[in-house]
Amino acid sequence: MCDDKYQEIKSSTKGIYKEKGSKFVAYSYPVYSEEEVKEKIEEVKRLEHAARHHCYAYILNTDKSAQRANDDGEPSSTAGKPILGQILSNNLTNVLIVVVRYFGGVKLGVPGLIRSYKTAASDSIAAAIIITKTIKEQYEVGFKYPQMNNVMRLVKEFDLEIINTDFRIDCKLIFAAPKSKANTILDTFNKNHELRIKYIKTI
C-alpha cells in the first residue's frame, strides 16, 4: 500500500464462533478516539451483560500508533492478542473489536481459547465492508486578487480538493492534498513568491 493509504471498516458488524458449548460473539466498530473505544466497550457490556468475559483489542490513527489488547480475566495473551492479530493481519486501523464469551462448561485450554477469540474476530471482519482512505494534508494559500488565475490553474493541475475559499479583499483558499504529493505541490506553489502558503493539519 502507498504510505498515504489506510483501511477502515465502513460500519459495525458482528461475528459468532462456537466451540465445545462456549459461545464467542464478536462486535467490530469503526472508532476514532479512546473515548469512543470506552463508550463502545460499555455498550457491549450492557448488551451482553450475562457474558463471563468481554475481551477486546483496538488500533487507532492512520499510522496505527495507538494499539491495545485486553484479556479481561482470560489467561494472558489468549484473547486480546489474537483479536489484535486479526486487526493487524487485515491491515485495518480506527477499529475496535470486542469479543464476549459465554462459558459452555468445558475448558478449552490455551490453544482453544486463542483459536476461538481469533476466529470470532475474523468472522466479524469478514462481515465488514473495508474501505480505503487517503491521508491528506490541509494548507491555506493567501494571495492578492490578480493571482487568482494562477492559483486556480494549480488547483486544477494537481486536482486539489478545495475545503474553503474567501475571495474578498485578500484572497484565501484552503485545500487538501494526498500526503505523498504534498511536497511537489508545495514546491510548485512556493515558486510563485506572491503566494503565501501555510500548513494547517493532517486529516
Quick one: cell of 83? 483479536
Residue 139 in this model has a pLDDT that exceeds 50? yes
Q: Are residues 100 and 165 in the same domain?
A: no
Judge residue 123's burial from the number of C-beta atoms within 10 Å of its C-beta, 0-12 exposed, 13-18 middle, 19 or more buried.
buried
Same domain membership, residue 109 and residue 78:
yes
Helices marked H in the chain — which ranges?
34-47, 80-89, 109-126, 148-157, 182-191
Is residue 2 pLDDT above 70, yes or no? no
Q: Are residues 97 and 156 in the same domain?
A: no
C-alpha cell at 132: 480505503
What is the predicted pLDDT for the residue at 22?
95
Element (H, E) at 75: none
Same domain, residue pair 124 and 141: no
pLDDT above 90 for 169: no
Q: Could you list the residue range(s) of the whole structural domain that residue 90 is in? A: 5-132
Neighbours of 96 (CB within 10 A): 26
Give dist(CA 98, CA 40) in Å, integer: 9
| pLDDT the model gives residue 98 | 98
Last residue of a domain, one of 91, 115, 132: 132
- Are residues 83 and 162 located together in one domain of the fold? no
pLDDT digits (tens, 9 = 90+) for 62-81: 889 999 999 999 999 999 99
pLDDT band, very low/low/confident/very high, at 4 (cuts 50, 70, 90): confident
Query: Do 115 and 163 reside in the same domain of the chain?
Result: no
Domain shared by 121 and 22, yes or no: yes
What is the count of structural domains for the chain? 2
What number is the average pLDDT over the span 139-160? 93
CATH label of the domain that carries residue 186? 3.30.70.260
Specify the range with the lowest mean pLDDT, choosing from 15-19, 44-48, 90-94, 103-107.
103-107
pLDDT of 33-50, one tens digit each? 999 999 999 999 999 999
